[in-house]
Structure formats: C-alpha cells, structure tokens
Amino acid sequence: MGYLELDVELSDEAKAMQETARKFGMEVMRPAGIELDKLADPADVIAEGSVLWDMFKQHRELGFHKMGIPKAAGGMMEDMPPMARTLIAEQMGYADVGLAVSLGVSGMPFNIAMMVPDPDIQKLVREYAEDTEAGLIGCWGITEPDHGSDWVIGTTSAGADPRLVPSLRGELKGDEYILNGRKSAWVSNGTIATHAVLHVGLDPSKGIHGHGLAICPLDLPGISRGKPLDKIGQRPLNQGEIIFEEVKLPKSYMFISDPAIFGSGMGKMFLGTANTGMGVLLSGLAQAAFDEALKYAKERIQGGVPIIEHQNIKLKLFKMFSMVESARAFARRVSKYNVAQGPMRSSPAHGITAKVLSTETAFTVASEAIQILGGYGLTKEYPVEKMFRDARASMIEDGTNEALALAAAEDF
C-alpha cells in the first residue's frame, strides 16, 4: 500500500531526505543484506571485495555519516531538518536492520569525540566527516564475556555491587591508562572497527558504577580481535571480541574518568538514548515485514481469490498494521522529545520502552508474515524469513528486553 504519512509537521526537505534514504536502502542495503546473510562463513562478510564495503562507501558518499557532526567539524548537524535523522533511520531499519546497526554504531566514537578537548581527538572528528572510503569505522565497546545485561543493571542502584566490576580494567600510571581485559564477541563492528567508545572499569569497589569512558584507537599495541561471530540473525552485522593486553591509552583519551558521573544517572541516559535509536530502526523492520505480507496476500490465490479476501487474513493484517503504527508513533515521539530536549534531559524509561515495544512488534509482525506466506515464508526466496531472524536478535542486543524493562521500571 502507499504509506500514508500521518505526521503533517514534516518539512519537504525532511521528506526528500527520507526518500533518498529509502532509495539507498532498497537499491543498496536490502540487496547487500540478503547477499551477506547467505554467506556461510561470517569472515566472508568482511572480506576484501565484499559488498559490505561498497555499501559503507555509498552511505558515506551520500553524507549520512555526517548528520551528527557540526558544520565546524565538516558535518551537517545544523542543516538537518527536524525529524530527518529519525526518518532516515526508519528507512535504514526497513532495508536491513543488521546493516543499519552497523552504520549507526560506526559513527558513535566520532560523534562523541566532539566532547573531548584533546586536539588529536578533535582532529579525528573532521577526518571522519571527510572519509568517503570507510577508512574510519567505530564500535561501542561495552558488553563483556561476563557482563552483558550487567551493564543494564549497572544503570540502577544495584550497579554499585562490587561483584559487577567490569572485566576490562584501566589503571592510571602517569599520563597513561593501562588496559587489560576483553570485550565480548557481541560488540557490533568489533572485528572491523578502527576506534571504539570504550567502557573501562576504574574503581572496582563501585562495581559497574565505577567505570569511565574513553575514545580508544584500536590499532594500539596490545589490542587483538577474535573471529567474527556466527549467529542466526543480523548476519550482515559484523560482531566480534576485542582483547586488551597491557594497552597504553593516553590519559586525555579517557574523557569521563570520574565514576560518580555514571552512578549519578548518566549511564541510564546513555542507554535510553541508544535504545530510542533501536526503537526507530526496529519500527522500520516491522513495517517491512508487514509490507511483504500485504504484498503477498494481494498476489496469492487460494479458493479462487487473492487470500486478502479471506476474513482471517484481513484480520491478521489489520492487527499487524495497528501494531506497526503504534510502535512507529511511539518511537518517533520519543525521538522527537530527545532532539528537542537534548540527550542530558532525555527520558531513559521512554527510550527503553521504545526499544522493547518496537523489537517485540517487529518479531510478532515478522512471525505473522511468515504465517501468511505459509510454506514460502520459511524459504529464503522471500525476505520475511530473514526479517524474522533479524527481529529475534533485536530482542537481545543493546540489553535483553527483560533487563531493560526492569531498569526502566526503577524510574516509575
């Protein structure tokens, strides 16, 4: 169906950027994601000559990577019309949510680097803005082998428990932090990233609350990588372990070195903002699964008529439609609020709710899409099988939905 846009406040410029993103998503991302998903070895996803790199480069050539960077640093932040970034993210999630996550997290260290006064890191922001060859790729180094949902718990009062001390530790010696430990195989872009936003334990007595935040170049001596993770969903999304052995990180790169900052609520704000983004992406995936089911229902003949003429299919599609619209509307609302208020005044509970609502909606709608397609829904001939697997993965990434719900409920 032709999607009716209910948000009448969107500018023509924002809609034009949305259309550019949709074209890129359907002509570049969707085909690349399908091709990469079929590769048996996840190492082939990131191999030289992979369509992954063409996708990255075309994304950079369109300038989408510069949306969160100020004009003074070579970006286009001030020129972005209201809600444009949200609309673009929806289209990325619609096309391929695994690749959308990869593209999103690839800019994270460089967007955050703007807050770091060190001249070398400030220079890095401009270099990223000018990079159209995907030579600079970021990751979010938070999850660890022994600490997955612990990082979510860490945003609550329970995060001060010393038993939750991060695996990756940093010890200040002179003008350097000595890093030892590892980040788990679930780090998105983990084996291809050049830089990380890195969560580092600094005060073991304070558990998760006792950590700092660094911008870390991943070519420092003592850093190694694990092999790319093999998983059932979001297979085009590279994920892998990062190991730190006596790594010397300049003191100035630890831009949040006071653990009290995370204990005071910044950690939950950080998590809430990230999960708002996930909510937007997965509302796009939910829409994609619905559209595939609707298209098939209009084409498939059973009982002498298209199956959309059967009441049970109509009712199923209506329920799917209402779920998609609800998830999208809520994710947009939270995203709009965050933009208006700024990340420091965002609502973690609402951001987390957007992620939980959208991921569960995407999973349910993709499952129902498979049911409508019947046996064909189980085959790789149609994209709903992949969408179902991708949606299932989203209910775990960025914190399991159950752990996130408990963290959000603490603010009630």
- Domain of 74, CATH number, reads 1.10.540.10
Written in H, E and C, the secondary structure of 239-287 is ECCEEEEEEEEEHHHCCECCCHHHHHHHHHHHHHHHHHHHHHHHHHHHH
3-state secondary structure of 147: strand
157 within some domain: yes
Q: What amino acid is encoded at 360 in this protein?
A: E
Q: Residue 188 contacts by C-beta under 8 Å, 6 or more apart in sequence?
A: 101, 102, 105, 139, 140, 237, 238, 239, 397
Residue 365, domain CATH: 1.20.140.10
Quote the CA–CA distance of 234 and 386 in Å, as a whole number: 8
188 and 316 in a single domain? The answer is: no
54 and 73 in a single domain? The answer is: yes
6 within some domain: no
309 and 396 in a single domain? The answer is: yes
390 and 285 in a single domain? The answer is: yes
Q: How many domains does the chain have?
A: 3
249 and 289 in a single domain? The answer is: no
Listing DSSP states for 205-245 in one string gives GGGGGGEEEEEEETTSTTEEE-PPPP-SS-TTS-B--EEEE
Q: Phi first, then psi: what are they for 184, rounded to 5°? A: -75, 175
Q: Which of 226, 261, 296 is the last residue of a domain?
A: 261
332 within some domain: yes
In a 10 Å sphere around its CB, with 0-12 CB exposed, 13-18 middle and 19+ buried, how is residue 8 labelled?
exposed
Q: What distances in angstroms separate CA 12 from CA 7, 81, 83, 358, 384, one per listed residue?
A: 12, 9, 11, 26, 32
403 within some domain: yes
246 and 309 in a single domain? The answer is: no
Handedness of CA 187, 193, 197, 203 (dihedral sign): positive
pLDDT at residue 379, as a whole number: 96
186 and 73 in a single domain? The answer is: no
Q: Which of 75, 101, 130 is the last residue of a domain?
A: 130
pLDDT at residue 1, as a whole number: 44
Quote the CA–CA distance of 243 and 12 in Å, as a whole number: 47
Q: Phi first, then psi: what are they for 63, rounded to 5°? A: 80, 10
CA 81-83-85 angle, 5° bins: 85
Across 285-299, b (16+ Cβ under 10 Å) vs e yields bbbbbbbbbbebbee
Quote the CA–CA distance of 63 and 80 in Å, as a whole number: 11
Regions of the chain with pLDDT less than 70: 1-3, 262-268, 343-344
How large is the C-alpha radius of gyration of the chain?
21
Quote the CA–CA distance of 148 and 388 in Å, as a whole number: 23
pLDDT at residue 262, as a whole number: 65
403 and 276 in a single domain? The answer is: yes
pTM comes to 0.95
Nearest to 333 by CA among 141, 83, 100, 59: 83
Q: Which of 216, 238, 261 is the last residue of a domain?
A: 261
H helix or E strand, kind and range, residue 170:
strand 169-173
Owning domain of residue 352: 264-409
Quote the CA–CA distance of 348 and 154 in Å, as a whole number: 14
1 within some domain: no
246 and 274 in a single domain? The answer is: no
Torsion (CA) 13, 18, 19, 22 in degrees, nearest 10:
170
Residue 207, domain CATH: 2.40.110.10
334 within some domain: yes
319 and 375 in a single domain? The answer is: yes
223 and 254 in a single domain? The answer is: yes
4 within some domain: no
232 and 166 in a single domain? The answer is: yes
Quote the CA–CA distance of 227 and 277 in Å, as a whole number: 27
192 within some domain: yes
